Structure formats: C-alpha cells, structure tokens
Amino acid sequence: MRLNLIAVGHKMPSWVKEAYDDYSRRLSARLPVTLIELPPGKRSSGVTPERAMADEGKRILAQLKLDSQVVALDDQGRQRTTPELSQWLAERLRDGRDLSFLIGGPDGHAPEVLARAQERWSLSKLTLPHQLVRVVFIEQIYRAVTLLDGHPYHRE
C-alpha cells in the first residue's frame, strides 16, 4: 500500500518542510508517504477563483490512480478522533489499496475533485492555513500508526 499526499502549493516555509520531513522520515519504515506538490492555479484580476480551482482540480485528478482510495481534506468533511483514524487506517492497511489524500488550494477543491473522493475529512473546525494542514496531517498519520503498533507516543 502506498500513501500519497497530493497538495496544492509549493515553496513552503522551512518550518513546514522540516516538520513534514521529520514525521515522514519516522513513518518511512512502516508506511511511506509520498508528497506530491502541485502549483496553485493563477489568481489575478482576470481569473476567477472558480477557474483557478478548476485548473488545480485537473492537476489533482491527473495524479490519481483509478483504483486509489481518495480522501479530500475539506472543511466540510467528517472529523475523526485519533483512535478512530487509527482504526480506519488499520482497515485500509488490510485492504492494501493505495490511499491518496488531497489538500486543495486557497479556495478549496473543485467539484470534480470532491466527486472523485470517496471521503471528505476535516482536520479541525478551525480554519487552518494550508501549510499547517500538511504538518497536522502527517503528524496524525504518524500518531495513528504508532497507536496501531502499541507505541507510547499517543496518550489518552
């Protein structure tokens, strides 16, 4: 099974890259995560947000394999506790299908992307900057894996 994080946005601040790389490295032996960064759609006075989202959506959809399970990170999505995420991940690991998690651009996901996703998740009721979403996401995947492995990282 492969886990992909497909994220709109590039040129992240060093703190984002360092935190993401740290958790990704910790996960690498158990569950390697591939980060695919896509450039954001152009936003200017002559380009509507919908057009920028559509461009981002085309790039996201082009990265997805037909048999991959897709989860769109979306502020209107379902929230899970860490133990629930851990159990969900255990089921996916048994299934063996590739997983693709999607982080959209500043205006969210294109309707076509949301239609392709089997699930929508929200990491928080709070509005999080896209840079922080990467860090929170990878840390929660790490936490879920350590919970599955009986590692004491997670405490209730």
Segments forming the whole domain that contains residue 128: 3-148
CA distance 113 to 26: 30
Residue 154 domain-assigned (yes or no): no
The tens digit of pLDDT for each residue in 100-126 reads 999 999 899 999 999 999 999 999 999
Number of domains in the chain: 1
Q: Is this prediction's pTM over 0.85?
A: yes
The stretch 26-41 carries a mean pLDDT of: 94
pLDDT at 1: 86
**What's the Cα-to-Cα distance from 48 to each of 18, 54, 61, 71, rounded to whole Å?**
33, 10, 20, 26
**Confidence band for 87, pLDDT divided at 50, 70 and 90:** very high
CATH label of the domain that carries residue 26: 3.40.1280.10
Q: What is the mean pLDDT of the chain?
A: 93
Residue 156 domain-assigned (yes or no): no
Residue 43 has pLDDT above 90, yes or no: no
CA-wise closest residue to 104 among 47, 63, 44, 145: 63
Residue 115 domain-assigned (yes or no): yes
